[in-house]
Amino acid sequence: MEFSVTDIAALLNGEIEGDKEVKVNNVSKIEEGKKGTLAFLANPKYENFIYETRASVILVNKSFIPQKKINATLIKVDDAYKAFAKLLDYYAQAKNLIKTGIEQPSYLDETASVGKNIYLGAFAYVGKNVVVGNNVKIYPQVYIGENVEIGDDCILYSGCKIYADTKIGNRCIVHSGTVIGSDGFGFAPLEDGSYKKIEQIGNVILEDDVEIGSNTSIDCGTMGSTIIRKGAKLDNLIQIAHNCDIGENTVIAGQVGIAGSAKIGKNCKFGGQVGINGHIIIEDNVQVGAQSGISKNVKGNQIILGSPAVEVKHALKMYTIFRNLPKLRDEIVQLQKEIKELKKQKQ
């Protein structure tokens, strides 16, 4: 797709400096810019690239004052980073709007109900009593089980699996390979050492504006629901166990594992590879450093780090001590030698 600089500036409420006839058909990093692409400059440390880049159009902040000649056309906006994000969102939406209709072979059960402007890709499966809203894009090889509800403007990318009874709100995105609604890890130990499976009869609820990365697994509730609340964003390769409750606008990075019945508050942020114990409560506005382990309840409005995770200032003091342990050991060994010498001299 090709876009004119005047159309882009109008979309972003920007001011053009340079050639108003130029057009672009792709985006690029400013340091890797090519002719016909659009880049952006938000971080001052990349300013040197703006004088060398071959990108045709560059988004910059209105406060930017060039120190040298710039060959590219500039679009000046209030916030170049946010404007670039808005432009990428528009570009992605434009690409998805191209996708319409029901491809064959695919299966759409006669009891299913679908809204307007749906796209159903080849080899997709839509089961009994499924309800799909307007402008939904279901890419090839997606599986949607019985009684699933999907709101308007959702995108389900190739190969994701939505188990029966899942409820998905409006404007949700589920990426390839993700499984929503699979059985929770529930087994009762028996006297002979084997395990009896505990049937998982709950479901999963995704509220509005949730995005789930690729190859993530969200288990259904044993009873009741596992809930991902409005605006939450989950990265790739995350495990959410049965009956968890993830709060609004919480952001979770890759390889995080959350055990069953954990409750996460609003506006939390989790770094990669964080592990969270089951049946605990993490309150609102908690930030957790990468690879931390959380084994007990966490009060809100704090940053924690480590395993077990503690308040960040305390954690940094502990790490300082850990780094100095070899030196402290050497000093202790030396002191032990000196004490031995003193004892010999007294004898």
CATH number at residue 88: 3.40.1390.10
Domain C-terminal end among 276, 291, 308: 308
For residue 96, what pLDDT is reported?
67
The sheet carrying 257-258 orders its strands as: 107-108, 125-126, 143-144, 161-162, 179-182, 217-219, 239-240, 257-258, 275-276, 293-294
**132: in domain:** no
**246: in domain:** yes
What is the separation of C-alpha 220 from the centre of its chain, rounded to a whole number of angstroms? 20
**151: in domain:** no
For residue 3, what pLDDT is reported?
86
Domain C-terminal end among 48, 82, 97: 97
Closest alpha carbon to 155 in 232, 95, 228: 95
**319: in domain:** no
How far, in Å, CA of 75 to CA of 12, rounded?
A: 9
- Same domain for 262 and 190, yes or no, is yes
> Backbone phi, then psi, for 129, in 5-degree steps?
60, 20
- Same domain for 88 and 175, yes or no, is no
**338: in domain:** no
- Same domain for 304 and 165, yes or no, is yes
**144: in domain:** no
As averages over each run of 10 residues, the pLDDT of the chain (347 residues) reads: 89 92 92 93 91 94 92 94 89 74 96 96 98 97 98 97 98 98 95 95 98 98 97 98 98 97 98 97 97 96 93 85 86 88 81
Residues 6+ apart with CB under 8 A from 187: 195, 196, 197, 198
User: Exposure string (b/e) for 179-216, b if CB count within 10 Å is 16 or more?
Assistant: bbbebbebeeeeeeeeeeeeebebbbbbbbbbbbbbbb
**327: in domain:** no
Residues 6+ apart with CB under 8 A from 178: 160, 161, 212, 213, 214, 215, 216, 217, 218
For residue 14, what pLDDT is reported?
93
Residues 6+ apart with CB under 8 A from 333: none
Task: Give the three-state DSSP class for 138.
Answer: strand
> Is there a contact between 130 and 144 (Cβ–Cβ < 8 Å)?
yes
**150: in domain:** no
- Same domain for 78 and 167, yes or no, is no
Number of domains in the chain: 2
- Same domain for 166 and 296, yes or no, is yes
- Same domain for 170 and 91, yes or no, is no
CATH number at residue 176: 2.160.10.10
How far, in Å, CA of 185 to CA of 259, rounded?
A: 9
- Same domain for 173 and 84, yes or no, is no
Q: How many CA atoms lie within 13 A of 210 on its CB side?
A: 26
Sequence-ordered alpha helix ranges (H) in the chain: 5-12, 47-50, 80-97, 312-346
The whole-model pTM stands at 0.82
- Same domain for 203 and 91, yes or no, is no
Domain C-terminal end among 97, 113, 146: 97
- Same domain for 87 and 171, yes or no, is no
- Same domain for 167 and 284, yes or no, is yes
CA triple 61-209-100, angle to 5 deg: 95
- Same domain for 45 and 164, yes or no, is no
Segments forming the whole domain that contains residue 272 = 160-308
- Same domain for 175 and 287, yes or no, is yes
Query: Which residues are known catalytic residues?
Result: 242
Tokens 């998905």 sit at which residue?
168
For residue 2, what pLDDT is reported?
84
